């Protein structure tokens, strides 16, 4: 491996001092070399994120294989082939994870509807095709001993009770076709209710969200 490539690896891994960096002539060729190395290291970071200690450990492993004297073209080719065998699996893993994320992302499902944002205290999403509502407790509102939070939907002046909201954990409930239709362009409401009183209409409304 050439001395320039050796320095490029040290530069990319952040192992050079400020004085050593200032002494390097940042030519277009050198910067391109550093960029290529950073791309390889970024791919490896997907499997094990690099910190200062791990980067030095990786560099020590790399430097053990760096020979300052000139090597034959066969050895150079073999070294690059070994590097590809190490880097390519990480690249394939990165693309595979990206494809899986796109396939499972809620925004890629035309039947998925965000009802309540997690910042409110619960992450609530509706599956309008299968008539399901998933409720995940994040940081629920604080209520009294005999109180609960309730989820409602309002559309065309009519309000329907959907479910009470959990203080912890997750739950999935089935919703009717009528509730599903009200969720479309309706208004989601969260209120605080007394467990001792029938829940016919929202009492103390704490949150409203116009759905689209």
Contact 124, 151 (CB under 8 A): yes
Put simply, whether the predicted model's pTM sits higher than 0.75 gets the answer no
- For residue 124, what pLDDT is reported? 92
- For residue 70, what pLDDT is reported? 46
Residue 135: which of 147, 122, 145 has the closest Cα? 122
% residues pLDDT > 90 (the chain): 29
pLDDT at residue 129 is higher than 80:
yes
Residue 5 banded pLDDT, cuts 50, 70, 90: confident
Over residues 33-61, the mean pLDDT reads 61
pLDDT at residue 207 is higher than 50:
yes
User: What are the chain's domains?
Assistant: 3-104 (no CATH), 110-210 (2.60.40)
End-to-end, the C-alpha distance of the chain in Å comes to 59
Distance CA 33, CA 24 (A): 13
What confidence tens digit (pLDDT) does each residue in 130-167 have? 999 999 988 888 888 899 999 999 999 999 999 999 98
């Amino acid at each position: 491996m050439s001395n320039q490539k050796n320095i490029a690896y040290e530069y990319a891994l952040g192992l050079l001092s400020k004085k050593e960096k200032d002494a390097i002539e940042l030519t277009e060729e050198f910067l391109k070399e550093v960029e290529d190395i950073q791309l390889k290291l970024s791919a490896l970071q997907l499997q094990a994120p690099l910190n200062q200690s791990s980067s030095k450990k990786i560099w020590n492993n790399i430097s053990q294989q760096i020979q300052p004297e000139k090597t034959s073209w066969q050895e150079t080719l073999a070294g690059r082939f070994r590097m590809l065998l190490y880097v390519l699996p990480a690249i394939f893993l990165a693309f595979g994870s990206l494809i899986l994320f796109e396939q499972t992302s809620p925004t890629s499902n035309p039947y998925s509807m965000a009802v309540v944002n997690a910042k409110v205290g619960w992450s609530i999403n509706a599956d309008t095709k299968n008539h399901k509502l998933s409720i995940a407790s994040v940081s629920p509102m604080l209520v009294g001993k005999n109180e609960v939070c309730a989820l409602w939907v309002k559309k065309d002046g009519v309000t329907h009770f959907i479910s009470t909201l959990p203080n912890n954990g997750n739950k999935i409930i089935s919703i009717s076709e009528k509730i599903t239709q009200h969720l479309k362009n309706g208004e989601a409401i969260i209120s605080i209710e007394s467990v001792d009183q029938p829940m016919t209409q929202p009492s103390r409304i704490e949150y409203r969200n116009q759905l689209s």
